[in-house]
Amino acid sequence: MAEIKITKSDILSDNWYILRKITYEYKQADGTVQIHQREAYDRGNGATILLYNKESGTVILTKQFRLPTYINGNKDGMMIEACAGLLDQDNPEDCIRRETEEETGYKITEIQKVFEAYMSPGSVTEILYFFIAAYSKSMKVSNGGGVEHEQENIEVVEIPIQQALVMIQSGEIKDAKTIMLLQYIKLHGIL
């Protein structure tokens, strides 16, 4: 088993979140020590959720502009995604309840954690907590769309699960967390 010793950590940017340049010693199993330098982006941990309705066979997704995708070839920068947000000071369950109501307008009652994952472990420190929850029309308490002070402009999208799965194949849905959650509910026979 390799041993790690961080020898230096420099902040390169703390504009939006924190980008650090880390220097560390990596002691391999044979005893040799290598010096590595890597950058790690710390934006905090997050949570995501897929709302589903068994009776109608539908899911609730969001659509919003994502600059990094626009920079990397997404012509209009719009992404169809599962609702998500950063934990800030909340635990994952409280965070995802808050984000669900802010983004989708649904006040959910029971949620189920299905797993957690590092989404880009080569450069980003974030762990994402994945949830699912049933929804019904009676849970709709607002139009959603996000909160103004966070400069969110989110469209709420309700679509049949089968259509969402086809949208993965066609490339209309390219967001990893969303693909993982859609496949989870399909593989587990939830919808």
One digit per residue, pLDDT tens: the chain, 191 residues?
678 999 999 999 999 899 999 999 999 889 999 999 999 999 999 999 999 999 999 999 999 999 999 999 999 999 999 999 999 888 999 999 999 999 999 999 899 999 999 999 999 999 999 999 999 999 999 988 776 666 678 999 999 999 999 999 999 999 999 999 999 999 999 98
Q: Are residues 153 and 127 in the same domain?
A: yes
Q: Are residues 36 and 51 in the same domain?
A: no
Output the pLDDT for position 80: 98
Output the pLDDT for position 1: 64
Alpha helices in the chain (DSSP H): 67-71, 92-104, 161-170, 176-187
Output the pLDDT for position 152: 72
Q: Are residues 29 and 120 in the same domain?
A: no
H or E element that contains 58: strand 58-65
Amino acid letter, residue 144: G
Q: Are residues 116 and 34 in the same domain?
A: no
Q: Are residues 61 and 25 in the same domain?
A: no
Q: Are residues 143 and 117 in the same domain?
A: yes
CA angle 183, 120, 7 (to 5 degrees): 155
Q: Are residues 177 and 163 in the same domain?
A: yes
Output the pLDDT for position 34: 95
Q: Are residues 13 and 84 in the same domain?
A: no
Work out how many domains the chain is built from and give that number.
2
Output the pLDDT for position 129: 98
Q: Are residues 23 and 99 in the same domain?
A: no
CA distance 47 to 96: 6
Question: The domain that contains 82 carries what CATH number?
Answer: 3.90.79.10
Output the pLDDT for position 153: 82
Output the pLDDT for position 88: 87
Q: Are residues 53 and 35 in the same domain?
A: no
Indicate yes or no: pTM above 0.85.
yes
Which tens digits make up the pLDDT trace of 165-180?
999 999 999 999 999 9
Q: Are residues 100 and 75 in the same domain?
A: yes
Q: Are residues 14 and 68 in the same domain?
A: no
Output the pLDDT for position 146: 77
**Could you tell me the residue range of the domain that residue 175 belongs to?**
46-187
Helix, strand, coil shares of the chain as percentages rounded to 5?
A: 25, 40, 35
